[in-house]
Structure 1
């Protein structure tokens, strides 16, 4: 924790933070887990950032482990510690996915890895609502719509690399067609 705080304190450039990184580690990104950054506690953000602000946050398959209300609170904390023009890239299981086997894997209490702890199954309207409630403008990157049609907008991995995506997850082509709902929240205000 002290090393991470020192890195942020001494940073002269962008501060890019992976939320709930587990073992994920990318060049030019600072990996955090709940011990370093508790999304629900503003004091945790204060302690880590020490007056600085992040340029980017990345949360791949984290927000489904929070209730909707806790997710909004976490997003509000991220918004407060994000510089103007910064972004949070979020990937979560997609509640409009066309394959019912996928839904059964990822739904709260589902059969997939980690699903026992899932609190919510987001769809693009629900995640958009959470981000807007926190103050973000929203850009949809990958998602299924209500008619089981997959939508994809090309995105830059340097703004937040998502392994469980159309581009990087080989399972996308398998019968279950694993994909994520991927959304950017942009901070346009102060």
Structure 2
């Protein structure tokens, strides 16, 4: 996407995102998608960097009280942040989640054993957007970052250090991850072509 296209896309997304962020019902569960692009999920508030920069506490303060969000969903966002930025963003999520609140995060999986996949998703890789990727996570690295902040971690889908795919049940209504084993249309006939590292992190 060219710079001009990105600017136009941002202008198109901002009014809807801004409307949701400033008009949500605070008496109901507050579920938020960060880095939503064009994904729209019923019952969720959608945000992008044009309206909420994950790294800026001043942006969070515009729309939310601390300890007020029930769920945060992020699909393929954290790989666009440096490790230091990623930890700061996790810390902000922790601050604004309620006690027991859920952060569901999905990123490309650095333990995926297939070279084609790694070449596609690694920083500077061949895939769409990989030129902006800053880090390639695996479940151990991301779990460590989250636990350092104070989260209780529950990995849902990931390749382990031996190249074996691990998958545990999860509910789309708690946060839909389209680039996943069961929901990515590239995965057909039992063959996993594209999966993500998916982790649930709960605020203690």
TM-score w.r.t. the length of structure 1 is 0.93
User: Which residue of structure 1 lines up, in the alignment, with residue 8 of structure 2?
Assistant: none
Matched, 1:185 2:204: no
Distance of 2:157 and 2:180 partners within structure 1: 8
| Cα 1:51/1:95, change in 2 over 3 Å | closer
Residue 170 of structure 1 aligns to a residue whose secondary structure is: coil
Instruction: Return the match for 2:89 from 68, 71, 74.
Output: 74
Distance of 1:73 and 1:132 partners within structure 2: 13
Distance of 2:125 and 2:21 partners within structure 1: 37
Task: Flag the structure with more relative contact order, 1 or 2, with Cα contacts below 8 A and sequence separation at least 6.
Answer: 1
Task: Within 5 Å, give how 1:113-132 maps onto structure 2.
Answer: 113-132=128-147
Distance of 2:108 and 2:159 partners within structure 1: 11
User: Which residue of structure 2 lines up, in the alignment, with residue 110 of structure 1?
Assistant: 125
Distance of 2:36 and 2:57 partners within structure 1: 19
Q: Residue deviations 1:98-152, cap 9 Å, x none?
A: 2110000000000000000000000000010111122111000000011110000
Q: Tell me how far 1:52 sits from its aligned partner.
A: 6.5
Q: Tell me how far 1:35 sits from its aligned partner.
A: 1.7
User: Which residue of structure 1 lines up, in the alignment, with residue 12 of structure 2?
Assistant: none
CA contact (8 A) 1:101 1:176 kept: no
Instruction: Return the match for 1:85 from 100, 104, 109.
Output: 100
TM-score w.r.t. the length of structure 2 is 0.87
CA contact (8 A) 2:77 2:107 kept: yes
Q: Tell me how far 1:50 sits from its aligned partner.
A: 4.5
Q: Which runs of 5+ in 1 are unaligned?
A: none
Residue 78 of structure 1 aligns to a residue whose secondary structure is: helix
Matched, 1:6 2:22: yes
Distance of 1:111 and 1:187 partners within structure 2: 35
| Cα 1:2/1:37, change in 2 over 3 Å | closer
| RMSD of Structure 2 on Structure 1 (CA) | 1.6
CA contact (8 A) 2:97 2:203 kept: yes
Task: Within 5 Å, give how 1:34-45 maps onto structure 2.
Answer: 34-45=49-60
Q: Tell me how far 1:53 sits from its aligned partner.
A: 1.4
User: Which residue of structure 2 lines up, in the alignment, with residue 96 of structure 1?
Assistant: 111
